[in-house]
Amino acid sequence: MVLTMVDYTVLAERAFTLLQGHHQDEPLVLPTVWDAWSARAMVDVGFNALSIGSHPLADSLGHADGENMTLEQALEGISRITSAVDVPVTADLESGHDTPAPELIAGLLEAGAVGVNIEDTVHSRGSMRSPEEHAEYIWSLRQAAEAQRVHVVINARTDVFKYPGEFEDPTAEVVRRLRLCTEAGADSVYPVRLPDVGTLKSILEQITLPLNVTAHPIKGAVPEELDLAQLTELGVGRVTFGPLLQAALTDCFADFTRAWQ
């Protein structure tokens, strides 16, 4: 694997900048990119930090999401992106590719990223980590990052709402998991597939860390999807796009090329 040489002092500074961005009056908006071109485009329009999504990165390489690309392929993609821009970048490494925390953090930093998104669905076994197991992995990642003297910004994700039938009270389970991740050293938390605005409000009332939502996260809950002003009023701390930005460009390509077909 060919990775660009990185300056750990620069990484530490970027990690601090990324962390500070989570504690401001408005949500930190991190457009989700997948290659050097999309990263430069987002920086050119004014964003000063980026996220790399596993789904769009995998799509750009011809793989399905769910750790179907290897960790080496993911890190190579991350390295190409971080080498193309001079802003903090956080990367989605799914459930960690069955990789010990020190090795995962070392690879992430060598690739030039200063934040990581880690979910509790373990793709190799087709099931979720227990709340305690996920928190333990988050804790191990924090310890590994501190050993490198870079405060990697850890976004702890839970997929409970993807499997609501498996839990008697999905919202209570989400809160339980997010609280354990908070205690383990996460910097932000991310309950994906929020079912409605009421659930979002309930979770926000019960956690202390900045909460990450997907841009336009609530489908069908209100007449229109929540915009940045509404998310700010609710107290959301961070917004990412998942695969939605890349997917939206498909229609743009179709509109642009239709006259030439």
Q: Which of 14-18, 220-224, 234-238 is the least confident region? A: 220-224
Q: Virtual CA dihedral for 209, 131, 33, 106, nearest 10 degrees?
A: 100
Question: Is residue 3 assigned to a domain?
Answer: no
Instruction: Quote the CA–CA distance of 112 and 216 in Å, as a whole number.
Output: 29
Residue 43 in domain = yes
- Tell me if 120 is assigned to some domain: yes
Q: Evaluate whether residue 140 is within a structural domain.
A: yes
What is the model's pTM?
0.94
- Going by C-beta distance under 8 Å and a sequence separation of 6 or more, which residues neighbour residue 144? 101, 102, 104, 105, 106
pLDDT digits over 159-210, tens only? 999 998 999 999 999 999 999 999 999 999 999 999 999 999 999 999 999 9
Where does 10-79 show beta strands of DSSP type E?
28-30, 32-33, 50-52
2 domain-assigned:
no
- Residue 5, exposed/middle/buried by CB under 10 A (0-12, 13-18, 19+)? exposed
188 within some domain: yes
Average pLDDT, the chain: 93
Domain membership of residue 62 (yes or no) is yes
* Alpha carbon 10 to chain centroid, angstroms: 21
Domain count, the chain: 1
Write b or e for each residue in 58-68: b if 16 or more Cβ atoms lie within 10 A of its Cβ, otherwise e. Answer: bbbbebebebe
CATH number at residue 35: 3.20.20.60
- Is residue 159 one of the residues assigned to a domain? yes
* Domain region containing 71: 8-260
